[in-house]
Amino acid sequence: MTKSRSKRQIALTVRAADCLAEVFLVNSRFERIAAGVGSVDAAVTPGLYKARFRVGQVQTDSLIEVGADAEHMVFEGPPVQFDTPVPLPQTMTWRQEHEQAARKESHTIHCRLGSGSQLFLFFRGLAEAASRPWLGVSVHDLDGTLLAGPEQGICDERSAFFALNLEVDPGCYSLRVEEEPGEVYEIFVSTLSGWQTQVFALAEQSWLPGVGAFRAALPVASVLTAAIGTGFDPSVVSVRQSELLRLGLLHGRNILAKAGLDSVLAEQPLNPMTAVFAAHVLLRQEDAALTAELVKHVDRCVVAAMPDLVAALPVSGGLPVFVLPPMLRSSWQRIMEAAGKEKAAISPGSVVEQLKDGVLNTPLWLLRRR
């Protein structure tokens, strides 16, 4: 006997708008029948299905009706509107005036402190109480010397943003925010020769108990890199890819399959921060094959200049010695574990050695309480 038209199998492909978004397919009995990253394929019978698309902790659902006369149905999912400090179109936190300001100010040098690399800060507020996102912000070298503060940048209370682009020597810098008098927190930011490191943060109510002030939220800040002269350009593929990888790392999601890695590696030269996030996502996934593929495409000079890549990728050439602090807390944990097993060395007297006190247990950045 032949199967009835209502019971025959139909090929269904569900694609996410972003190749790094998670995809789940559920039938009318609320049973998950397929899951993947970027897209899923399933053989289904005619009927109603639900596709769920997830980025970080945000998800969007779509209903799919599979007709009895279909042969191969392809469903294109909508972009997931996630939260991000980056003024990125097709996100819940995008504001046109912020995007325009970030584009413009990232091409302007506000203060020259060195040469070869740039450090661009763009902090913004989305609520009336957060109209001064520059409060308490300062940039220091690793010796603690103050390099720049809000007075060197652009402070716009009407549009609620702060922009500061520093020309600096390649290296590592401390970005600090004073939550309240005497409560100072810092993250570390690497800059590379020929690249602009971009730090984005939203001004949010202090995460300290009993403190009502609005300050730039360093624990969930976003860090991107762009070739000098490019500035902030959200139309560049690596910008959205870096954000998706950062959110995956922040929320512990396994979002890097081969198709996604191929998409990341398609852009050459490989964006340094995209490489950092990809390396640490793959480290979480314990995917040695994809990690080896990533290693082939990362410039060795970039690896040597970024402790986060040295910590995450297999390196040759002897025992790695860490002098400069990493940006990610996962890098810090790996460095400490490797040093404990004598598989890495920490330079005596370095900032890395001094960091043993004051490091907070945060899910993303290496956050230190001064």
- Output the pLDDT for position 6: 54
Average pLDDT over residues 338-343: 89
Whose CA is closest to 238, among 257, 260, 264?
Answer: 264
Q: Which residues are 334's β-sheet partners?
A: none
pLDDT for 76 beyond 80: yes
Alpha carbons 286 and 68: distance in angstroms, whole number: 42
pLDDT band at 2 (very low <50, low <70, confident <90, very high): very low
- Output the pLDDT for position 187: 97
Exposed, middle or buried, 3 (CB in 10 Å: 0-12/13-18/19+)?
A: exposed
187-201 per-position pLDDT tens digit: 999 999 999 999 999
98-148 per-position pLDDT tens digit: 999 999 999 999 999 999 999 999 999 998 889 999 999 999 999 999 999
Alpha carbons 132 and 153: distance in angstroms, whole number: 13
Q: Rounded to two decimals, what is the model's pTM?
A: 0.92
Whose CA is closest to 161, among 125, 206, 197?
Answer: 125
Whose CA is closest to 214, among 228, 203, 198, 229?
Answer: 203
Radius of gyration of the chain (CA): 22
Number of Cβ atoms within 10 Å of the Cβ of 108:
13
Alpha carbons 149 and 24: distance in angstroms, whole number: 46
Average pLDDT over residues 266-283: 94
Would strands 117-124 and 195-205 be described as parallel, antiparallel, or unpaired?
A: parallel
Is 59 within 8 Å of 70 (Cβ atoms)? no
pLDDT for 218 beyond 60: yes
Alpha carbons 239 and 224: distance in angstroms, whole number: 7
- Output the pLDDT for position 209: 64
Which string of DSSP letters, residue by residue, matches 192-223?
-TTEEEEEEEEEEE-SSTT---EEE-GGG-EE
Number of Cβ atoms within 10 Å of the Cβ of 234:
18
pLDDT for 80 beyond 70: yes
Which string of DSSP letters, residue by residue, matches 310-348?
HHHS---SS--EE-SPPSBHHHHHHHHHHHHTTSSEE-T
- Output the pLDDT for position 186: 95
Alpha carbons 283 and 221: distance in angstroms, whole number: 21
pLDDT for 23 beyond 90: yes
Average model confidence (pLDDT) for the chain? 92
SS3 131: coil
Average pLDDT over residues 297-314: 92
Q: Which residues are 196's β-sheet partners?
A: 118, 226
Is 188 within 8 Å of 370 (Cβ atoms)? no
- Output the pLDDT for position 3: 46
Q: How far is CA 54 from CA 64, 224, 337, in A?
A: 17, 22, 32
Lowest mean pLDDT among 184-198, 213-227, 282-296, 353-367: 353-367
- Output the pLDDT for position 59: 94
Average pLDDT over residues 32-59: 95
